Amino acid sequence: MRTTKALRRAAGAAVCDGSRTVVQAGRDLHLPWPIVQNAAHPERTAKLPR
């Protein structure tokens, strides 16, 4: 299955900003959890203070 960058960004935002678990975001967006987990990683690291 192919996913767009916008869908991956939405999945990452759902986990990081939306306070959802990876599994919840995957169910809502109809994505498997490994894709959501990988999409959440860049979102997490971008928000960490340096």
- What is the rounded CA–CA span in Å between residue 46 and residue 29? 22
Can you give the pLDDT at residue 14? 92
Q: What is the pLDDT of residues 1-50, one digit of tens each?
A: 688 999 998 998 999 888 899 999 999 999 999 999 998 877 565 665 65
Can you give the pLDDT at residue 50? 58
Can you give the pLDDT at residue 45? 59
Can you give the pLDDT at residue 17? 86
Can you give the pLDDT at residue 24? 96
- What is the rounded CA–CA span in Å between residue 32 and residue 23? 8
Q: Could you tell me the pTM of the whole model?
A: 0.74
User: Largest Cα–Cα distance in the chain?
Assistant: 35
- What is the rounded CA–CA span in Å between residue 18 and residue 13? 6
CA distances from 26 to 6, 31, 39, 43, 48 (A): 14, 5, 11, 16, 23
